[in-house]
A = this chain, B = another copy of it.
Amino acid sequence: MANRILIIGGVALGPKAASRARRLDPDAEITLVERGDLFSYAGCGMPFYIEGSIDDVSSLLCTSQGVMRDEKYFVKTKGIRVLGKTEALRIDRERKTVTVRDLRDGGVRELPYDKLVLGVGAKPIVPRMEGIDLGGVYRLYSPRDAQAIRSELDSGVRSVAIIGGGLIGMEVCGAFVSRGCRVDVFEMMDRLVPALLDEELSLLLENYLRERGVGIHTGSPVKGFRGEGGRVTTVITTDGGEHDAEMVIVAIGVRPNTELAREAGLEIGATGAIAVNELLQTSDPDIYAGGDCVENTCILTGRKVYAPMGSTANKHGRVIGDNVTGGSTRFPGVSSTVVFRVLDYNVGKTGLTEREAEALGYKVVTALTPRPDCSSYYPGSSSFIVKLVADRETRRVLGVQGMGLGEAVKRIDVVATALKFDATLKDLADLDLAYAPPYSTAIDAIAHAANVVRNKIEGLARGVPPVALRARLEGDEDFVLLDVRSEEEFREGSLSDRRVVNIPLDMLRDRRDELPRDGEIIIFCRTSVRAYEAQRALEGLGFRDVKFLDGSLKAWPYPL
């Protein structure tokens, strides 16, 4: 008898699992159940539709050849039966059936399965707060939300409040600024994107957005909204602040849809998402789950993490397609790679941040290195900042964050690849990465960052993190802040502090007597390349307490 494969959820995981299963087993009876009427849509594209860089919302619903992924598409092209507008109500694991209701006519029936697949996704967290149901308060969940938001913009809305300074908050922030809106971002935590970035990078991103006119309100939990005539007008923060807004986007995160699994007695993990093994089986071996409703394994630490991502859902779909047709493919886990674009800024990370690594007990050592993305003489060369995180004892790479106008994302992919194989810092430095002037520097940004960390571990390079220096600048201590850039660069602006002196690197040997041989000297330049050179030169000349500012002025995350 044909294998009956029943799949709940038609957005990312479900269609992928169904398609793979069909290619593997032409005789299987494959049924896809979806509560809505949109299938396989590109939810990640919604901010770009709002922005206007995608004209037609239907391009998020079509194949790259422009074919709408509707019920007919799945039946005709894939040989998959699709039940749209159909809600799964409960699973009977004994009888191996799922009770579903047709949302059009209310009809209830039971669908039998041999293998059941849950691809039920996640939904935005909607906080219970005053005014959350006012007109003009949106979440961004489906293409219909995106259409509604865009038509608000088209009809003249010009000020938007975004509740939540995380990934989605940042993407829609960029979209609204591009549309000429006044944007305010409210983040409960004390900095932007706190779950993905370390403090320096959060601050650098904040500076960038402030320069673009965005109002950033960190450490500002929102209490609720007030409106007039049923329409939002004001955001109210817990400290009593009031901020005008013609529209509000609530983007404080998503939560896995686990009700169906929970009611069926399937195991829910500590992260709150459905627990699965490497075969993506739930605690019932005939029920598989994947995509945004399950938890993943972190390949670095073995811990369970909740890391919903469209790319992971697609990988899950292939694995499940294999396994519901008799295969035994394993999914090893994720390194929690996340990237996003905000206006011209490329931002991302993979692996552990410094904060996460420290919390896990690693002896962390980092580099904060500004770097051009291609040869600095090549037209269009842009810089970006790399923060590389490693373990001092094993010299293993733990993670990277990258940010800037330059091509940061390529380097995140390189580290994501390296993390898969427990790479060390030397491994990164030895990589035979592609070099030609339009693409890279002769020493690629990642190799450079790895070498800086190696220099630190070997006691050659002594870095001071900008956050630490900033704290010391507020005190009265005596130390020298040595700017080794040229006099011309110095005149254009430097750190404003009474302790700053300028001696260009090429005069350092001659003018050494101007510096205190036993006093503390913290050196900086533009990117720290010259500052490190100067640190070693002064040490060679007998100076005893010399350090450099990590990332120097390019990575200084405060106003100058």
Most B CB contacts (10 A, CB to CB) among A44, A72, A331 go to: A44
- Tell me, in angstroms, the Cα distance from A486 to B439 when the chains sit together: 37
- The residue in chain B whose Cβ has the minimal distance to the Cβ of A489 is B65
Other-chain contact of A536, B26, B44, B299, B416 (Cβ < 8 Å): B26
Residue A315 at the B interface, CB < 8 A?
A: yes
* Contact call A309/B42, Cβ cutoff below 8 A: no
Out of B42, B339, B414, which one reaches A414, CB within 8 Å?
B414
Q: How many copies does the complex hold?
A: 2
A332 at the binding interface (Cβ < 8 Å): yes
List the B side residues contacting A421 at CB < 8 Å.
418, 420-421, 423, 427
Complex interface bits, A425-450 against B, C-beta within 8 A gives 1, otherwise 0: 00101111111111110111001000
Which of A53-61, A198-206, A219-227, A361-369 participates in binding chain B?
A53-61
Bound state CA distance, A526 and B67, in angstroms?
A: 14
A470: B residues at CB distance < 8 A: none
Is A37 engaged at the interface, CB distance under 8 Å to the other chain? no
Bitwise interface map of A from 444 to 484 toward B, beta carbon under 8 Å scored 1, else 0: 10010001000000001000000000000000000000000
Contact digits for A61-99, partner B, Cβ 8 Å, 1 yes 0 no: 000110100001100111100000000000000000000
A421 to B427, CA, bound (A): 9
Query: Chain A: how many interface residues by the 8 Å CB criterion?
Result: 101
Q: Does A3 contact B (CB under 8 A)?
A: no
The stretch among A119-127, A131-139, A182-190, A370-378 that forms the contact with chain B is A370-378
Chain B residues, CB < 8 A from A410: 407, 409-410, 413
A240 interface contact, C-beta 8 A: no
> Do B429 and A409 touch across chains, with their CB atoms under 8 A apart?
no
A24 within 8 A of B: yes
**Which residues of chain A from 237 to 255 have a CB within 8 Å of any chain B CB?**
none
Instruction: Please tell me if A334 contacts chain B, counting CB pairs below 8 Å.
Output: yes
Q: Which residues of B lie under 8 Å from residue A314 when comparing CB positions?
A: 442-443
Q: Which B residues lie within 8 Å of A27 (CB)?
A: 540
| Contact in complex: A507, B377 (CB < 8 Å) | no
A23 adjacent to B533 (CB under 8 Å) = yes
State whether B434 touches A409 (Cβ < 8 A).
Answer: yes
Across-interface contacts of A539 in B (CB, < 8 A): 26
Distance from A512 Cβ to chain B, minimum over Cβ atoms (Å)? 12
B60 touches A377 (CB 8 A): yes
Determine the chain B residues whose CB is within 8 A of the CB of A437 once the complex forms.
42, 44-45, 48
Check if A23 sits within 8 Å of B460, measured CB to CB. Answer: yes
Known: A48-B378, A378-B48, A533-B77. A65 touches B337 (CB 8 A): no
User: Given A45-B437, A341-B438, is A506 in contact with B24 using a C-beta cutoff of 8 Å?
Assistant: no
Contact code string A331-351 (vs B, CB < 8 Å = 1, else 0): 110111111110000101010
A505 within 8 A of B: yes
Shortest distance from the beta carbon of A489 to any chain B beta carbon, whole Å: 7
CA distance A419 to B431 in the complex (A): 9
Residue with the greatest number of chain B CB neighbours at <10 A, chosen from A171, A442, A539: A442
A4-41 vs B, Cβ < 8 Å mask (1 yes, 0 no): 00000000100000010011101100000000000000
Q: Is the CB of A339 within 8 A of B460?
A: no
**Neighbouring B residues of A429 by C-beta, 8 Å:** 315, 318
Is A311 among interface residues, defined by CB-CB distance under 8 A? yes
Residues of the B chain whose Cβ atoms lie less than 8 Å from the Cβ of A264: none
Q: A350 CA to B507 CA in the complex, in Å? A: 43
Asked whether A266 is an interface residue with its Cβ less than 8 Å from the other chain, the reply is: no
Say whether A262 faces chain B, with CB atoms less than 8 Å apart. Answer: no
> In the docked arrangement, what's the CA distance between A420 and B514, Å?
48
Please measure, in the bound complex, the distance between the C-alpha atom of A433 and the C-alpha atom of B311, giving whole angstroms. 8
Does A144 interact with chain B (Cβ within 8 Å)?
no
B residues in contact with A353, CB < 8 Å: none
Given contacts A24-B460, A64-B376, A413-B410, contact A311 B444 (CB under 8 A): yes
* A432: chain B residues within 8 A (beta carbon): 299, 311-312, 334-337, 350, 416, 419-420
Output the least CB separation between A383 and chain B (Å): 10
Contacts of A337 in B (CB 8 A): 432-435
| In the complex, A111 has a CB within 8 A of chain B | no
A339 touches B423 (CB 8 A): no
Instruction: Chain B residues near A79: list those with CB within 8 A.
Output: 509, 537, 540
Among B44, B72, B372, B541, contact of A436 (Cβ-Cβ < 8 Å): B44
A23, B536: Cβ atoms closer than 8 Å:
yes
B73 touches A378 (CB 8 A): no
- Top-6 shortest CB links A-B: A26-B540, A421-B421, A311-B435, A64-B376, A76-B506, A339-B434
Q: Give 21 pairs: A residue, B residue, CB < 8 Å, sorted on A.
A: A23-B460, A26-B537, A44-B375, A44-B435, A44-B437, A53-B378, A54-B377, A54-B378, A54-B379, A59-B377, A64-B376, A65-B486, A311-B444, A315-B430, A318-B429, A339-B435, A409-B434, A413-B413, A413-B433, A419-B432, A420-B427
Besides the known contacts A42-B375, A76-B507, A418-B420, 8 further A-B residue pairs in the complex with CB atoms under 8 A apart:
A26-B540, A48-B438, A60-B377, A65-B530, A311-B442, A314-B443, A339-B436, A417-B431
